[in-house]
Amino acid sequence: MQANSKPRFAIIGAGMSGILSAVKLKQAGLDFTVFEKAEKVGGTWRENTYPGIACDVPSHLYCYSFAMNPDWSYASSPGAEIQAYFEGVANRYEVEGSMRFGDAVTRCEWTGEEWEVETASGYSDRFDWVVAATGILHHPKYPDIEGLDSFEGAMFHSARWDPSVPLDGKRIGLIGNGSSGVQITGALAPRAAKFSLFQRTAQWVVPIEQVAYSEEQRAEFRRNPEQLQKLHQELDASFHEGFGNAVLDGKSEFFDTIEKTCTDYLEKNVADADLRAKLLPDYTAACKRLVISHDFFDSIQLPNAELVTEGIKRIESAGIRTVDGRLHELDLLVLATGFHVDAFMRPMTIRGHDGILLDDVWKERPSAYMSIGVPNFPNFFMLNGPNSPVGNFSLIRTAEMQFDYMMQLVEKVRSGELDNAMPTQQAATRFEEERTEAAKKTVWASGCNSWYLDDRGIPAAWPFPFSRFCAEMSEPKFEDFAAA
């Protein structure tokens, strides 16, 4: 890229990070195109529409720093409201005119001077920079259970909800009791004739009161944006300096406090001793992602609800057969079984310097220098990419800092100080070795099986304090970057 040139950006994805990138680039007066496989913005919140969906991060923290929202209706807002927020931001900043909807990127290839981007429709164009804002929770993971295709009732993944399927008075089965499963239980158990939750592992359920903001409170936020900003900062500090740092020490007494809170909540709210025993985890709190709920225990104790802990033997045409020989007859089967969290840009074909294929680089597992860049892939950066702090920091705060970090590299290229920007192999290897060793000491490595773990059983998330993330993102170590 020539010094002082006006670069063009390809942004892959119009979810939270993609909208952020579009707004920031537009404000900077730079040329960009957003490629979105779906028909509208929203990402996770567009694709997940199951009953009961909500964010487990406080509403006033889960928003852009430049677009505070005084009108959240709840302390933890429902999914439709979050989706509306992102649509509103995209509309307010007028970035949708630069988005190609319904046209998935299939190939990104470095030509030696720029990126050639091709889509499923055959569209092709060239860009100086690629920003992969693809997220991690968008490729549904289906369970490997015998007979999955033999069920004759309605069946779908929680992220592929079919709103045409009737729910009231039906026999509903749900596989999976993570955050999505718990939220679905709270919403559907009261509506079903029979509700069966198939649990493999108990979850630590953190009690939370579903606080509704009054119109007077929302009006005060609108009148007093400084108060809204103060609330955002308080939540940010509490979340990142408290929980965000505690998870880094798997032996921290912090988790004893969480376990006591959760155990007291369980004992106070679940009357039956056998059910309490089934709902009590046998691993350290926060080893898996904590589940936040205000209605799960009430819902699973309804007369029509059942917690099934016997293993699933197979799925049959009429329902689920458990290992004790019992057939659980169902009209609807919901699979709240998570996502392929290591997919990132896959199944796109991405070729970097000298034609190197990203799939080959990531053959063992995804990794990235500072969670953002990959050696041999010039001017290619990811927001909330591999090893980002997905379990300990706010994803929005993370993406904002990562984007600002990237833009400092963009300016170095524009000024001619770098021909192209990509981390060196030496820097990437050094960082990954340090990250791996630190990850072994976190609570995520304390003895449970979770989606945070890679193929080696090592946590894939950012294992350093929030203060270090802020310091690293404040200014790149330019000596760790090299021209292609």
E-assigned strands of 357-431? 380-382, 422-423
2: how many CB neighbours lie within 10 A of its CB?
12
In the DSSP assignment, the letter for residue 212 is: B
Instruction: Please say if the pLDDT value at position 57 is more than 90.
Output: no
Dump pLDDT digits (tens) for 127-155.
999 999 998 877 899 999 999 999 999 99
Contacts of 239 (CB under 8 A, 6+ apart): 57, 58, 61, 393, 394
Report the alpha-carbon distance of residue 159 to residue 164 in Å, rounded.
15
Write down the pLDDT at residue 322: 98
Mean pLDDT (whole number) for 37-42: 96
- What are the backbone angles phi and psi of residue 315, rounded to the nearest 5°? -105, 135
Computed on alpha carbons and rounded to an integer, the radius of gyration of the chain in Å comes to 23
The closest of 241, 212, 233, 208 to 68, measured between CA atoms, is 233
The closest of 371, 374, 393, 367 to 383, measured between CA atoms, is 371
Q: How confident is the model at residue 484 (pLDDT cuts 50, 70, 90)?
A: very low
Dump pLDDT digits (tens) for 387-423.
999 878 889 999 999 999 999 999 999 999 999 999 9
- Contact assessment for residue 119 and residue 106, using Cβ atoms and an 8 Å cutoff: yes
Sheet of 129-132, strand order: 99-101, 31-36, 8-12, 129-132, 380-382
Lowest-pLDDT choice from 34-38, 345-349, 460-464, 466-470: 345-349
Dump pLDDT digits (tens) for 235-265.
888 888 888 888 889 888 889 999 999 999 9
- Contact assessment for residue 140 and residue 160, using Cβ atoms and an 8 Å cutoff: yes
User: What is the location of CATH 3.50.50.60 in the chain?
Assistant: 8-139+340-482, 148-204+248-335
For 300, the token pair is 């699973």
Dump pLDDT digits (tens) for 286-304.
999 999 999 999 999 999 9
Question: Each residue of 59-93: b (16+ CB within 10 Å) or e?
Answer: bbbbbbeebebbbbeeebbbbebbbbbbbebbeeb
Q: Which CATH superfamily is domain 148-204+248-335 in?
A: FAD/NAD(P)-binding domain (3.50.50.60)
E-assigned strands of 299-404? 305-308, 312-316, 319-322, 327-329, 332-335, 349-351, 380-382
Report the alpha-carbon distance of residue 382 to residue 406 in Å, rounded.
9
Q: What is the fold, at CATH topology level, of the domain defined by 8-139+340-482? A: FAD/NAD(P)-binding domain (3.50.50)
- Contact assessment for residue 92 and residue 63, using Cβ atoms and an 8 Å cutoff: no
For 63, the token pair is 């928003």
